[in-house]
Amino acid sequence: MSEVLFKVLIIGDPTVGKTSFVQRYVNNSYRRDYKMTIGVDFALKVIKWSDNQNIKLQLWDIAGQERFTSMTRVYYKDAHACIVMFDLTQRTTFQNVVKWKKDLDTKCTLKDGSFVPCLLLANKCDLSNRDVEQGEIEEMCKEHDFVGWTETSVKENLMIEESMRFLIEEMMTKHAVMDAFSDSYGSSVPAGGRINLAANNNALTQQTRCSC
C-alpha cells in the first residue's frame, strides 16, 4: 500500500480555536481549557484514502502570538496546504486574516512556485453574537485567493471533517498534477479551481440553528 505525507498548517490569531480544531479532527475530543500553544504543536492523523493508498497528515498548530511570528518561515517550510482560522465573534481576528495569508504567501510556496492552497475557516458559528457577515467572508476569500471557505463550530463538531476532506482533495489534486506534469512542463503546473463550501452551510443552518 502506498502512502502520501502532507504537511498542513493551522494559523490565525490566538483563541480562535486552532488547537481545539486539531484535537477535534484528530481525536474527536473537545475541551474548553486547552493551554496556549507555545511556538508550534504537532499532531498526526493517518487516513485510508483508498484500497491501496493511505494519507498521513502532519498538522502544525502554530501559535498566534506576535512574538512567535519571527519563526513562521521555519514552521511554514515544505507545507502542502494551510488553514487560516478566525473567530466569527471577534472582528479583529477576521481583519487579521489578511496578515496571516500574506505572511504565508511571502514565506512559502509549493515546488512549482505557486501559492500553498489555503482554506479559510470561520469558527464559533454556534454562537449568536457574530461580528462578521457571510458576504464579507466571501469577498475576503476571493480577494486573497483562498481555495474555499466555510463556517465551523469545533465545539459542536460542525464542518470539521468536511472542511478537511475538501482540503485533502485539493492536496491530492495538486499532488497528482505535479507528478504528471513536472517532468514535461517544469514549473508550468496549472492551479486548481476554487470551490466554495458555503453551500453546505445552508443545510447546517436548518439542522442546528447555527448562525452559519
Domain boundaries, the chain: 2-208
Spell out a b/e string for 93-111, using b for 16 or more CB atoms within 10 Å of the CB, else e. bbebbeebbebbbeebebe
Distance in angstroms (rounded) separating the CA atoms of residues 212 and 208: 9
| pLDDT of res. 112 | 87
- For the four alpha carbons of 202, 100, 74 and 146, in that order, the dihedral sign comes to positive
Q: Which residues pair with 150 in a beta bridge?
A: 121
Tens of pLDDT along the chain (212 residues) come to 889 999 999 999 999 999 999 999 999 999 876 666 666 888 999 999 999 999 999 999 998 665 556 667 888 999 999 999 999 999 999 999 999 999 999 999 998 889 999 999 999 999 999 999 999 999 999 999 999 999 999 999 999 999 999 999 999 988 876 665 555 544 433 333 334 454 444 333 333 334 34
Dihedral in degrees, nearest 10, Cα atoms 137, 69, 67, 142? -10
| pLDDT of res. 11 | 95
| pLDDT of res. 189 | 34
C-alpha cell at 53: 493508498
CB burial of residue 179 (10 Å; 0-12, 13-18, 19+): exposed
| pLDDT of res. 194 | 36
C-alpha cell at 150: 466555510
Please state which CATH number belongs to domain 2-208: 3.40.50.300
